[in-house]
Chains A and B, each alone.
Chain A
Amino acid sequence: MKTIELKMNGIEVEAEERTPLLKIAERLGIRIPTLCAHPLVEPYGVCRLCTVEVHQRNRVRMVTACNYPATNGIEVLTDTPRVRRDRRMIIEWFLARSGRLPLLQALAEEYGVTEPRFGLGDDPCILCGLCVRVCSDVVGANVLGFFNRGTTREVSTAYGETSEQCIACGACAYVCPTGCIEIQDEPALVRDALPLGPMTPIYIPTMQAVPHQPVIDHESCIHFKTGGCEVCASVCEPKAIDHKQADRVDQIDVGTILVATGFQAVDAKRVPQYGYGQYDNVFAALQIEHMVNASGPTNGQVVLKDGRTPESVGIIHCVGSRDKNTHEYCSRVCCMYSLKLAHLIHERSHAKIYNFYIDMRAPGKGYEEFYNRLLLEGVEFIRGRVAEVSDWAVTPGEKGKLLIRVEDTLAGFVRRIPVDMVVLSTGLEARSDAEAVRRLFNISCSSDGWFLERHPKLAPVDTFTDGVFIAGCAQGPKDIPDTVAQAGAAAAQAMSLIDRGAVELEAYTADIDETKCSGCQTCVPLCPFTAITFNREKKVSELNAALCKGCGTCVAACPSHAAEQHHFTDEQIFAEIEGVLVA
């Protein structure tokens, strides 16, 4: 791009050719009023308020600074009497449309428009078109547009109806200079949008994330929906944001692998009698966890669907645990997190809390004490599995409440308890892709899908595949202290292999007796580890003990009994057969 010279208000300045005059003025600190220019969108030249005087070869022209391209040798004057006169006229026209806006009144005062000739209108929109351009050029949603002509011109959505294409990004309201666009912030809508996860498309995954850097969520980022926006990239000074980055598969050679792929929460819909997904105020525990988070969607307040604070809350334990219909095992963490939620909900809402439990399982440091504390705090504990949650009110007092039917096994009768909110303490289950991970690492799963350790007591973090270790909830449900302890053990086991620097071979490898081998090569293709090669000179098969894993498949196939497996020789097994058959 060519560099040119021009004069602005007497100052000589260099600039790239075709730079808009407004940008040059900004650089020089010269204020030019404008209503329709914004750094995010292309200049539009519709408000005309940035009108300036341009002198070029004895000609004087009035142009809009926002989109007039600089050329060599021009002289720009931004505050001459003629400019001021023209701007006054423009302001008067604006006042005729939207005279009540403080923004325009300030401008009128600045330019000395004391008696507007065309009166004062009260339309809040000045038709600057920023919202329309942001919606189409930046966001790419194309929801807003101009409709009608002349005095009836207005900004609207198609047919004035709520658009399905609107992604509720709020960009239009953000750029509107008059504040005439409102984003509806109904509590009901907020509650529906309660996501279990980040609230914005750019976020740092967890407080402890390594590396501690933000990521962009493809699903919710406007750029990946519409191809537009990229506002983040334009404001990022070090230019660290690259929307064109694609997934990449890296191959890394490692000696040991630690599998800690975790768990997933049981989908509360699998226990249909508790009405999750059916009643608005039935929540899964993780949603409440999100709600009581001080930086969460409700700023830590516990609210019902309609925005009210609940007066009574029922917490149902063992949803998806200790149940033949879902999982038979105890998920171990639910009792304690239910108690924690009971405590937090009580603290935030002063609601009456009922816990419905089968058995209270509070083993561990300080856990039983916490349970006792909750008893003293007045949280009610009812021993019994809840039969169902419904909204079937019998008495007028029950209207609008959720009814929990449960057999109180300590009191010995069936109770109906009306509450405002129900929390389902969902259990832990193996991840749905555990089977694929298991096959990838050639390790085993127990029948409920958790990865199987080599031995429950003697090798609790080892697997059947050498060099692959497991830790955390991938191995079975456990709480955070146990997970951390197990992860430490697994890391230490992995380190011990690395530290040793050598791998111990199996003791029960196969061996081929050259004197017996007939050179038939039956064994060669059988070995999946390519431990057997055929020696063409000697015309015998040879076995590399370092590669042999000791399965014995070649031994079983050898027709001349040349192959033998240490500790599993034919003689040994024949002797075993004889031994077990001794009458």
Chain B
Amino acid sequence: MSTAVIALEDVTKTKGPGVGAAWEPRIVAFFCNWCTYTASDLAGTARLTYDPNAPVIRVMCSGRVDPQFVLRALGEGADGVLIGGCHPGDCHYQEGNYKTLRRFKLLKKVLGQLGVEDERVRLEWISASEGDRVQHAINDMTNQLRRLGPFAQRGASHA
């Protein structure tokens, strides 16, 4: 965890006033039940530690992730959204992750036009055995968002 601590110190130094030492990015993670959620369970049983910035919302399939969920999360004050699904070809429901990928590409286009930075919304394929990849994805994204700073769009989606 020493890397995370160093990164945090870097942020507090470089971001200057306005971003207090207490600020931490908040990520909403949507994990599919069969692969990524199981992988995060595995990360837990393997006692892999990662940043506590990404509380997980379990869905049965990454195909359940409505683009509205992402917009709502960003609107409600999340600094980033992480979607985790099975590797292509491994979907428990045969092809739900392909639908996710299709929606994700469109959503990224829309978000880009709205000025949302590319790093804020991320899609990861993590299989049930890859607990270390959950650890890496969350740590990596948290660090990126620390550098990027907060996403100040609170209430935007309520317009």
B76 near A578 (CB under 8 angstroms)? yes
Does chain B have a CB within 8 A of A257?
no
Are B129 and A452 in contact, CB atoms less than 8 angstroms apart?
yes
Contact with B along A467-500 (1 / 0, CB 8 A): 0000000000000000000000000000000000
In the bound assembly, the distance between CA atoms of A568 and B128 in angstroms comes to: 21
Q: Do B103 and A556 have beta carbons less than 8 Å apart? A: yes
Q: Does A526 contact B (CB under 8 A)?
A: yes
Q: Report if A439-B26 is in contact (Cβ < 8 Å); known contacts: A464-B34, A553-B96.
A: no
Asked if A550 and B99 sit within 8 Å, CB to CB, the answer is no
Partner of B66, one of A528, A549, A570: A570
Instruction: Name the segment of B7-15, B53-61, B138-146 touching the other chain.
Output: B53-61
Q: Which residues of the partner chain A approach B45 to less than 8 Å between Cβ atoms?
A: 456
The stretch among A16-24, A198-206, A293-301, A442-450 that forms the contact with chain B is A442-450
Set of chain B residues within 8 Å of A529, measured between Cβ atoms: 93-94
Which of A439, A444, A445, A553 is close to B99, meaning CB atoms less than 8 Å apart?
A553
Knowing A508-B60, A551-B63, A556-B66, the reply to whether A444 touches B129 (Cβ < 8 A) is yes
* Contact assessment for B129 and A556 in the assembled complex, using a CB-CB cutoff below 8 Å: no
State which residues 20-56 of A face B: CB under 8 Å. Answer: none
Residues of A within 8 A of B76 (CB): 577-578, 581
Residues of chain A from 534 to 563 with CB closer than 8 A to chain B in the complex: 549-553, 555-557
Q: Is A231 an interface residue (CB 8 A)?
A: no
B26 to A551, Cβ gap below 8 A?
A: no
B82: interface (CB < 8 Å): no
Interchain CB contact under 8 A, A565 and B60: yes
Assuming the A-B contacts A553-B96, A580-B55, A581-B26, are A568 and B60 also in contact, with contact meaning beta carbons closer than 8 angstroms in the complex?
Answer: yes
Contact of B96 among A452, A551, A583 (CB under 8 A): A551
Query: Is A552 touching B95 in the complex (CB atoms < 8 A)?
Result: no
Please indicate the chain A residues that have their CB under 8 angstroms from the CB of B78 in the complex.
577, 581
A528 to B95, Cβ gap below 8 A? yes
- Judge whether A574 is part of the interface by a CB distance below 8 angstroms: yes
Q: Let me know if B127 and A573 touch, CB within 8 A.
A: no
Cβ of B68 and Cβ of A570 under 8 Å apart? yes
Out of A439, A446, A528, name the residue touching B89 (CB < 8 Å). Answer: A439
**In the complex, chain B residues whose CB is within 8 Å of the CB of A557:** 66, 99, 103
**Distance, CA A465 to CA B65, complexed state (A):** 22
Is there a chain A Cβ closer than 8 Å to B72's Cβ? yes
Q: How far is the CA of A447 from the CA of B128 in the complex (A)?
A: 9
Number of residues in A with C-beta < 8 Å to the partner?
A: 33
Chain B, residues 61-92, CB within 8 Å of chain A (1/0): the string is 10111111100110011100000000001101
> Is A576 at the interface (CB under 8 A from chain B)?
yes
B77/A452 in contact, CB under 8 A: no
User: Which residues of chain A from 511 to 533 have a CB within 8 Å of any chain B CB?
Assistant: 526, 528-529
Query: Are A549 and B69 closer than 8 Å at their CB atoms?
Result: no
CB distance from B44 to the nearest CB of A (A): 12
Q: Does B121 contact A (CB under 8 A)?
A: no
A552 nearest CB neighbor, chain B only? B64
Please name the residue on chain B nearest to A446 by beta carbon. Answer: B129
Contact for A568 among B34, B64, B67, B94, CB less than 8 A: B64
The closest CB in chain A to the CB of B45 belongs to A456
- A568–B61 Cα distance when bound, in Å, is 11
Q: Is B28 an interface residue (CB 8 A)?
A: yes
Find out whether the CB atom of A464 lies under 8 angstroms from the CB atom of B26.
Answer: no
Q: Chain A residues with Cβ under 8 A from B134's Cβ?
A: none
Cα distance, A581 to B77, chains bound together (Å): 7
Write the nearest CB–CB distance from B67 to chain A, whole angstroms.
8
- Contacts A447-B129, A576-B57 given; indicate if A551 touches B65 (C-beta within 8 A): no
8 A Cβ contacts from A153-182 to B = none
CB contact list, B112-145 vs A, under 8 A: 127-130, 132
Distance of A444 Cα from B127 Cα, bound (Å)? 8
> Given the interface contacts A570-B68, A581-B73, A581-B77, does A464 sit within 8 Å of B92 by beta carbon?
yes
Give the Cβ gap from A375 to chain B, nearest Cβ, in Å.
Answer: 36
**A326 vs B156: C-alpha distance in the bound complex, in angstroms?**
53
Assess A577 versus B57: contact at CB under 8 Å? Given A447-B129, A528-B94: yes
Residues of chain B within 8 A of A508, CB atoms compared: 60
Bound-state CA distance A550–B129 (Å) is 23
Give B127 Cβ to nearest chain A Cβ, in Å.
6
Query: Which residues of chain A are within 8 angstroms of B94 by Cβ–Cβ distance?
Result: 442, 528-529
CB proximity of A511 to chain B, nearest CB, Å: 14
Q: How far is the CA of A549 from the CA of B63 in the complex (A)?
A: 13
Known contacts A508-B60, A578-B76: A551-B55 contact under CB 8 Å: no
Say whether B64 contacts A553, CB under 8 Å: yes
A526-B99, A551-B96, A581-B26 known; A573-B59 Cβ under 8 A: yes
Residues of A within 8 A of B26 (CB): 581
Can you give 23 contacting A-B residue pairs, CB < 8 Å? A439-B90, A442-B92, A442-B94, A444-B38, A444-B129, A447-B129, A447-B130, A452-B128, A452-B129, A526-B63, A528-B95, A528-B96, A552-B60, A552-B63, A553-B96, A553-B99, A557-B99, A565-B64, A568-B59, A568-B64, A580-B57, A581-B77, A583-B77
| Chain A contacts to B: CB under 8 angstroms | 439, 442, 444-447, 452, 456, 464-465, 508, 526, 528-529, 549-553, 555-557, 565, 568, 570, 573-574, 576-578, 580-581, 583
Other A-B pairs, 11, CB within 8 Å; known A529-B94, A568-B59: A444-B90, A456-B45, A551-B92, A552-B64, A553-B61, A553-B63, A553-B99, A556-B67, A556-B99, A574-B69, A580-B55
A-B pairs with lowest CB-CB distance, top 9: A552-B64, A553-B63, A551-B93, A551-B61, A580-B55, A528-B94, A556-B66, A444-B128, A446-B129
